[in-house]
Structure 1
Amino acid sequence: MSQQNGVPPLVTALKSSALKNAASFQFPGHNRGHAAPASLSEVIGRTAFAHDLPMLPELGNLFCSHGPILEAQVEAAKLFGSSQTWFLVGGTTSGIHAAIMATCSPGEFLILPRNSHISAISALVLSGAVPKYITPSSVNHWHIASAVTPAQVLKAMEELEMEGKKAAAVFITSPTYHGICSNLSRISELCHSRKIPLIVDEAHGAHFGFHSKLPKSALQQGADLVVQSTHKVLCSLTQSSMLHMSGNIVDKERVCRCLRTLQTTSPSFLLLASLDAARAQLSENLDIAFNQAIALADEAKCELKQIPGISLLENTSFPASPAVDPLRLTVGFWNLGLSGYEADGILYKDDEVIGELVESTCITYVLNLGTSREHVERLLLGIKRLAETYGSNEEAEKKVVNVDATFDDISMSLIPRDAFFASKRKVGIRESIGEVAGELISPYPPGIPVLIPGEVITEKVVDYLLHVRSKGAQINGASDSSLSSILVCGKL
């Protein structure tokens, strides 16, 4: 990717507009910060409110892109290598919704892994598409899903073709929350040979392609629609993301219509400007931006391998994956007799170390452009203390019980959309076994649905949900957060 113009046009325009002594009779009600709530302005400053402006002629309109918004999106497209880039203020969720709705009509088939993010399942409800699931394999001890392989995608395509059907799109998550990448180059070839668009949830990979040690981006590997959380490893504000398009398989106007339907008509210019600023920041430092983060990650991995009782997830665990994000550190604590939830609680209390993804046996830590050596050293020191305190032995490992969340026995009675709108009734969690799920239940993080509306509830799923809840996981989507009951489809 070549050097781009670093000047952020939308940031520049927003700054200029905020400096005007305008007599404003518009929303928002704080009126350029003049009535900013004191409690919040003490935290973020009045300047933030002064730049919280509505759509003005000099700023442009997100839905009829022109002026600084259009310029900012064009600069982003150049940097990331897309033919079209849209700024998103509803997070990657809104981009995934738009991508699936733009490619799948009601009754059409979408090939996707069963461990896709909750936003992809919500998109099935919105679009009326029928899921054709790929069941991911998992790695022993870690119970972490592997990459989706080209062979799995081809098998799903051929199974549909044997029934006289064709996928409207293929949806792949790459990288996963743990940084595991799929062979998108080969998968895109399979898709394009059948004129099927490839959608990639690259929420965790906006930084890919910008360093020789980082994996290639989804766009570089031929994906048609790619959604990135620019706020994750790059530096825009939380909730801001980008949707990129490449090639000519997808109807650009249909994408635009979907985005107009899904996004707010009052977008935050602070979020939009942060996307422009993050792009400019990266453009100015393309050659060296990730040098420090990658070096710190490499050093941390070497140190972690020397700590007795600590396990480190490595690339060799995933032979089907062409790459793993080097900025992810997934650390296992089972040899210490600690669950990931227990280790996280101790590290937060004693060292104020915060992990990104906490699971039954491990924690995933993410390094980014803002990671400092002092913080990495604090993380390593805290983990060393854990190892010294709890020791490593076979009996300790047996204390950590992990229930695998594989999805090899799924039976779908209703498509997600039909189940979402079906009549519901509440039953006890154990009595729900054999019933059809009426709600989407997902431990968070990582936001992977364990139960999807329309699926037949199994004993294995119930056991898993009760286990992770007992270990401290937050359960999203359940009408009864205690999980003593659950909604199922069907009238009383």
Structure 2
Amino acid sequence: MFASSPSLDLNLELGFAKKWILRPLRSTRTATRMSISEESVTLEPVKEQDRIGRTGKTRSVTKNDLLVSKSQTSQKDRLPPPLVTALKTSAERNVASFHFPGHNRGHAAPSSLTQLIGLRPFLHDLPELPELDNLFSPEGPILEAQIQAAQLFGSSETWFLVGGTTCGIQAAIMATCLPGEHLVLPRNCHVSAISAIVLSGATPKYIIPEYDCSWDIAGGVNVMQVQKAIKDLEMEGQRPAAVFITCPTYHGICSNLSEICQLCHSLGIPVIVDEAHGAHLGFHPEMPHSALKQGADIVVQSTHKVLCSLTQSSMLHMSGNIVDREQIGRCLQTLQTTSPSYLLLASLDAARAQLGENPETTFNKAMELASEARFLIKEIMGITVLDSPNFAKFPAIDPLRLTIGFSQLGLSGHESDDILDRDHGIISELVGTKSITYAINLGTCRDHIQRLVMGLKELSSWSQRNHAMGMGLDNRRFAPFVDATMILNPRDAFFARKNRVGILESLGKICGELICPYPPGIPVMIPGEIITQSALDYLLDVKSMGAIISGASDPLLSSMVICDV
């Protein structure tokens, strides 16, 4: 049975053997239907005159037509968030519950957790009941919520993700790259892209991004680098199955996706964009354009980062017709849980509705506060702010991502972060060797900006009193992965036999682990690459500064796992 809302065009033809049309039918059991509508639909044969337009020609109404018709509705005609509404209605029913989860709508919720968050989250922690739709075969409130998200973000289709952007990136790469096919991607990609290569069996063709030694930060990639990678593969008789770009980076650095997409599309190559940190882009005139606006084919966004859904919830958007949408669906069904959290799903619907209320002005306050913070912080002695001139080859840096440098104070990012946290209660998003990155969002207030500015001023004064000013920190000559050499495909290395050796003995051997400081989750060592002195030095250095090293089986880094080949 199909569910509908009044806003859906019910004359939506389906590709069945016979010609059918959807007709509204009053539901006799409204409790099991979408709560945004009392109507369900039934299938009836289509009369030939229903299929003939004024031109006299047959016309099938597609899902794209549905998106266009809904996007033209006025703001006052918008319905409440469909999945949020359905979840609320279902939770409010007076029922005898004999289904999962075991806390039974909060009746057996652990007291230690209810004391922390109350009972209401448990009341709404429901399974895939008929009225709540099915994530892998949506035809009710989930479908409607995804359609509304697609309209807002400008995609042809959108999927909700409960496995974070990680599962979306994995699905995107698996859907475009067969085993043995090549994927062009930046070497400073997120660890999820490497795990996707292991899952898909694709062969990576890495691009070394621009690197700023004074900040110890890697930037984006440009169209010339992508073109060179494609030509290098052509010289080997190969062509990439897809190009993968991280934009923006964790620090907000944006690549020129428009140029990259034009190049790739001229060659019939799809472009996948990890836009985990950019779900908000394009929703203010002073923000960089979104990846979809610039022509990307698959875009994966962490809706929970700058937007306001719950942690772990993300969206995958598709545009154009280069990528097989059914293959994306199959990959997502393989990767996502069969027991999705409706709290996460509803939070995606709610975040979309929140942004959709006033998409042109929602970020006005956040942008104003970010500009104010940037201006005030630049006035503080010994404090630097990452701006576009630091990465002049790239079109923009996300104005809501504030990266502060402390090298002139003679302090590392980790030392500065410890002081600001301990003395001022300032919690950052990302700590680097020479900088700290702060994420400004819809919940940021002026009091917090003033608190940050005051903390930085006191840190600068403390540094001057302790004569640390001007000492600086040593600049690295190059990125830790600039001299990386791949011997084995990451998938082959992942499944190869392994040995553990001492850290010094590992030099020159083939790495068997995926090791990266986290955050930002950018691998320094990838399975299949030769272990280099620069990579080891970098890991030991950042560990001594307080960074968390993820993926290393030996947290002390006194030994390393290598491939026994």
TM-score by length of 2: 0.85
Contact 1:32 1:50 in 2 (8 A): yes
Bigger Rg, which one: 2
In 1, Cα distance between the equivalents of 2:213 and 2:555?
Answer: 30
Partner of 2:385: 312
Contact 2:244 2:273 in 1 (8 A): yes
- Residue 533 of structure 2 corresponds to residue 459 of structure 1: yes
In 1, Cα distance between the equivalents of 2:280 and 2:465?
Answer: 36
Partner of 2:257: 184
In 2, Cα distance between the equivalents of 1:287 and 1:325?
Answer: 17
Partner of 2:506: 432
SS at match of 1:156: helix
In 2, Cα distance between the equivalents of 1:479 and 1:32?
Answer: 40
Long gaps (5+) in structure 1: none
Contact 1:138 1:406 in 2 (8 A): no
In 1, Cα distance between the equivalents of 2:480 and 2:506?
Answer: 19
Partner of 1:125: 198
In 2, Cα distance between the equivalents of 1:92 and 1:75?
Answer: 19
Contact 1:309 1:392 in 2 (8 A): no
Within a 5 Å distance, the mapping from 1:84-95 to structure 2 comes to 84-95=157-168
Residue 395 of structure 1: how far off its partner (Å): 6.4
Partner of 2:309: 236
SS at match of 2:389: helix
SS at match of 1:58: helix
SS at match of 1:106: coil
Residue 140 of structure 1: how far off its partner (Å): 3.8
Q: 2:181 aligns with which of 78, 84, 108?
A: 108
* Matched AA of 1:405: A
Q: 1:256 aligns with which of 317, 329, 340?
A: 329
* Matched AA of 1:482: L
* Matched AA of 1:485: S
Contact 1:6 1:284 in 2 (8 A): no
Evaluate the alpha carbon distance shift between residue 235 and residue 395 of structure 1 in structure 2; reply closer, same or farther with a 3 A threshold: closer
Partner of 2:416: 343
Evaluate the alpha carbon distance shift between residue 49 and residue 260 of structure 1 in structure 2; reply closer, same or farther with a 3 A threshold: same
Residue 219 of structure 1: how far off its partner (Å): 0.2
Partner of 1:156: 229
Q: 1:385 aligns with which of 448, 458, 462?
A: 458
Residue 66 of structure 1: how far off its partner (Å): 1.3
Within a 5 Å distance, the mapping from 1:89-488 to structure 2 comes to 89-391=162-464, 396-398=469-471, 400-401=473-474, 403=476, 404-488=478-562
* Matched AA of 1:16: T
SS at match of 1:488: strand
What whole-Å deviation, never above 9, does each CA across 1:195-236 have from its counterpart, x for those lacking one? 000000000000011110111000000000000000000000
- Residue 138 of structure 2 corresponds to residue 83 of structure 1: no
Residue 6 of structure 1: how far off its partner (Å): 5.8
* Matched AA of 2:124: H
Evaluate the alpha carbon distance shift between residue 105 and residue 392 of structure 1 in structure 2; reply closer, same or farther with a 3 A threshold: farther
* Matched AA of 1:367: I
In 1, Cα distance between the equivalents of 2:251 and 2:276?
Answer: 12
In 1, Cα distance between the equivalents of 2:348 and 2:132?
Answer: 14
Q: 1:24 aligns with which of 97, 114, 128?
A: 97
Long gaps (5+) in structure 2: 1-70
Contact 1:335 1:394 in 2 (8 A): no
Contact 1:230 1:240 in 2 (8 A): yes
What whole-Å deviation, never above 9, does each CA across 1:236-293 have from its counterpart, x for those lacking one? 0000000000000000000000000000000000000000000000011212210010
SS at match of 2:205: strand
* Matched AA of 2:484: I
Contact 2:408 2:472 in 1 (8 A): no
Residue 422 of structure 1: how far off its partner (Å): 0.4
* Matched AA of 2:551: G
In 2, Cα distance between the equivalents of 1:416 and 1:452?
Answer: 7
SS at match of 1:235: coil
Residue 42 of structure 1: how far off its partner (Å): 1.1
In 2, Cα distance between the equivalents of 1:364 and 1:345?
Answer: 14
* Matched AA of 2:114: S
What whole-Å deviation, never above 9, does each CA across 1:276-325 have from its counterpart, x for those lacking one? 00000001121221001000010111111110010111111112111110
Residue 399 of structure 1: how far off its partner (Å): 5.4
Q: 1:59 aligns with which of 124, 132, 138?
A: 132
SS at match of 1:321: coil
In 2, Cα distance between the equivalents of 1:298 and 1:72?
Answer: 34
Residue 7 of structure 1: how far off its partner (Å): 1.9
- Residue 119 of structure 2 corresponds to residue 38 of structure 1: no
Partner of 2:53: none
In 2, Cα distance between the equivalents of 1:327 and 1:156?
Answer: 32
Contact 1:224 1:246 in 2 (8 A): yes
Contact 2:218 2:479 in 1 (8 A): no
Bigger relative contact order (CA 8 A; separation at least 6) = 1
Residue 405 of structure 1: how far off its partner (Å): 3.1
Contact 1:214 1:325 in 2 (8 A): yes
Residue 484 of structure 1: how far off its partner (Å): 0.8
Residue 346 of structure 1: how far off its partner (Å): 0.5
In 1, Cα distance between the equivalents of 2:382 and 2:148?
Answer: 48
Contact 1:361 1:402 in 2 (8 A): no
Contact 2:211 2:479 in 1 (8 A): no
* Matched AA of 1:322: P
Contact 1:309 1:391 in 2 (8 A): no
What is the aligned-residue RMSD (CA, Å)?
1.4
* Matched AA of 1:18: A
SS at match of 1:391: helix
In 2, Cα distance between the equivalents of 1:244 and 1:119?
Answer: 17
What whole-Å deviation, never above 9, does each CA across 1:315-348 have from its counterpart, x for those lacking one? 1111211111000111011111110000000000
Residue 407 of structure 1: how far off its partner (Å): 2.4
What whole-Å deviation, never above 9, does each CA across 1:418-476 have from its counterpart, x for those lacking one? 00000001011111100000010010010000000000000111100000000000000
Contact 2:480 2:535 in 1 (8 A): no
